[in-house]
Structure 1
Amino acid sequence: MGPDGKKLLNIVILGFGFMFMFTAFQTCGNIEQTVIKSFNSTEFHGSGYTSMAIIYGVFSASNLMAPSVVTLIGPQVSMFLSGILYSGYIAMFIHPLTWSFYTASVLVGVAAAVLWTAQGNVLAINSTDRSIGRNSGIFWSLLQFSLFFGNLYIYCAWHGHVHITDKDRRTVFISLTVISLVGCFLFFLIRKPDPESSSGSEATESLLQTESGDGSTDRISVTKEMLLLSASIGYTGLELTFYSGVYGTCIGAMTRFGSDAKSLIGISGICIGLGEIIGKVKDLHSFSYYSWKLEI
């Protein structure tokens, strides 16, 4: 297999690793508040909404140190260790405790920053200026399949269930934990590309080597482009919060849907996933078309 083939294979493996991990984690986030409301225990006082707020708050702050961590231990190990923390968060629902729930939320926030920084590094060093659009499309298409498969499982597992029993909860979260761990171990199949590689890798490596204390982050954050981009990022965050945690919970709580309410959480997630996948397939088609036009 040639160098380009190896890089493309790395992108596909990266996509499948994230697909398995986020099949588990996004499904967990979609159903956790519904599960918590059905959990019959006077000792557990956690909230799925509070957990998500902790995760994304810590995620935001941890992005300042994530490049240093990835530089120190490498992107492959970074993704694996981050994935283990994601799996630990999901496994916590097998036997929930308030202290472990919120502790795991903090750890996943840190893990998320490291995971996505490492993912960007792997994507960049396995891409060139011409292939970065294609590779990004392939990666994100595979990632969005996680919404489809995870929520399809929830629909099948909870169809006709009015109340989520302890047995239902344990079965779902043991399965999701195993799926997440499969994704973690897939990262070890990624091979370092040949030295002559990619034009995009130098920029990424210099970015990862930048220490947060040198003031570069502060200088970039107040530029016109970043301030304008922050508005769209903030809006996207609100949308993500709504569809990933609030919308599904609202569907599961609607008495009008009767015994189908809990399984319809899965249907809503499947529809979101299909929309994401179709959008990425269209991006890939557009990339292929414009690449062809440039060649002629």
Structure 2
Amino acid sequence: MSTEYSNNENQTLLNTQYRSVRSGIFSRKRHWKNLIVLSLTFLFCFTAYGAIQNIQSSVNTSNGLGFLSLAIVYGSLMLSSLLAPTVIKYFGAKWTIVFATLCYCIYSYANFFPSYAILIPSSFLLGFSAAPLWVAQGTYLTTSAIQLSELINEVPEFVISRFNGVMFAFFQTNQIWGNILSFTILDAGTEDQKPTNVSSCGSQSCGAPIESNQPSPGKNEVQLLFCIFSVSGMLAVFLSICFLDEQPSATTRIETDTGSSLSLVLSTVRLMGNFKLFLLIPVFVYTGIEQAFIFGDFTKSYITCTQGVSAVGLVMIAFGVSDVISSLICGQLEKITGRIFLFCLGSVVHTGLLVYLYVWKPNQQAEWQLYIIAVGWGVGDAVFQTQCA
């Protein structure tokens, strides 16, 4: 009985959404133009942020400023998730994307002057803008896909899936382009320089001040890198303002389908009564922890500590490529094996790598192992990111 009620309720919700966007106000070409603009906006925005995130704990080492910055970003992101529907309700999907990408730009500019007074407030600002950005992206993309499906008389789910595929094909490459820039520029500033003391690298770095063990890139190189990332971020803002069409129906849909933030909190609490969903909470928590480890601890304690900060870009390119390919494979493999098998696979891969990283004592000659670990971690990350969706 409860399943039948749930199905009827979902169908009613879908019908309401489809009616709200039934009148496709754009041509077919214009829908695809908006999709490409949205994809490029996210590519430019996260090319900058992704690369900054990778080197944050290695460049801003004073009193753990880089670590603290990332912790604040993801902590405030968690809080902003409850406010995202309300933000989109009042500003609409397009302008939420514009304001949020601008906040990412501010974070890039803040790294020109890395201090607690500047970087920490900008980390809060970025974190609180991140959830509205992603919810607005999903709202805009889904609304556009439904409008196009009505226009070409095709099943909406197929068009939504196609749009998501194009969007994330662009987005997932941000780890490649940003890290290529990071390696090329920082390597010029640390040429022929290697860390002189690797005794406190790897698992031994816990609680150890390793910044003295590593050569610092030149200030000019770091400034140039952040300058390029800031320009990339501003390109994202420019694209979203000038070329992304506003869709009034997206705002209407938010108004009819979402209530206040309090209603959203109460709905979330009610969902906790579902035992299967409750069991997923540790998985959701782990996905945040494992990304914090690869972007923060692994880059600083294993890559920068043994190879220098310029090597972070190259190793993380391997992680990004592995993540992209594995995400595509997992999407197809799930139809054959089911999600339980993939969750077990991802858990085994990450557990094995964590055990190895704990007992392994990295050195300056152990460069190829870093690439293998990055590729393996990308496989596990792809499993958890795709199967939790």
Please classify the TM superposition score into its range, dividing by the shorter chain length.
0.7 to 0.9
- Superposed displacement of residue 204, structure 1: 6.0
SS at match of 2:82: coil
Aligned to 2:149: none
Q: TM-score, normalised by structure 2?
A: 0.64
Is the CA contact 2:304–2:312 (under 8 Å) kept in the aligned structure 1? no
**Within the alignment, does 1:270 sit opposite 2:355 as a pair?**
no
Q: How far apart, CA to CA, are the structure 1 residues paired with 2:182 and 2:300?
A: 13
1:1-296 to structure 2, matched below 5 A, reads 3-37=27-61, 45=63, 47-127=65-145, 128-159=156-187, 161=190, 162-188=215-241, 189-192=243-246, 206-207=256-257, 209-214=258-263, 215-255=266-306, 257=307, 261-282=308-329
Cα 1:243–1:90, aligned 2, differ >3 Å: closer, same or farther?
A: same
Aligned alpha-carbon RMSD (Å): 2.7
Q: How far apart, CA to CA, are the structure 1 residues paired with 2:165 and 2:323?
A: 11
Is the CA contact 1:3–1:194 (under 8 Å) kept in the aligned structure 2? no
Q: How far apart, CA to CA, are the structure 1 residues paired with 2:302 and 2:220?
A: 22
Is the CA contact 1:55–1:106 (under 8 Å) kept in the aligned structure 2? yes
SS at match of 1:130: helix
Q: How far apart, CA to CA, are the structure 2 residues paired with 1:206 and 1:244?
A: 39
- Superposed displacement of residue 9, structure 1: 2.7
Q: 1:244-270 CA deviation, whole Å, 9 max, x = no partner? A: 222222244334x3xxx2221001121
Q: How far apart, CA to CA, are the structure 1 residues paired with 2:218 and 2:229?
A: 17
Q: Give the count of matched residue pairs.
A: 272
The gaps in structure 1 that reach 5 residues or longer are 38-43, 287-296
Cα 1:104–1:57, aligned 2, differ >3 Å: closer, same or farther?
A: same
Q: Which stretch shows the higher mean deviation, 132-141 or 227-236?
A: 227-236
- Which structure has the larger Rg over C-alpha atoms? 2
Q: Which amino acid is 2:137 matched to?
A: Q
Q: How far apart, CA to CA, are the structure 2 residues paired with 1:282 and 1:75?
A: 31
Cα 1:244–1:204, aligned 2, differ >3 Å: closer, same or farther?
A: farther
Q: Which amino acid is 2:177 matched to?
A: F
- Superposed displacement of residue 285, structure 1: 7.9
Q: How far apart, CA to CA, are the structure 1 residues paired with 2:58 and 2:139?
A: 36
SS at match of 1:59: helix
Percent of paired sites with the same residue = 24
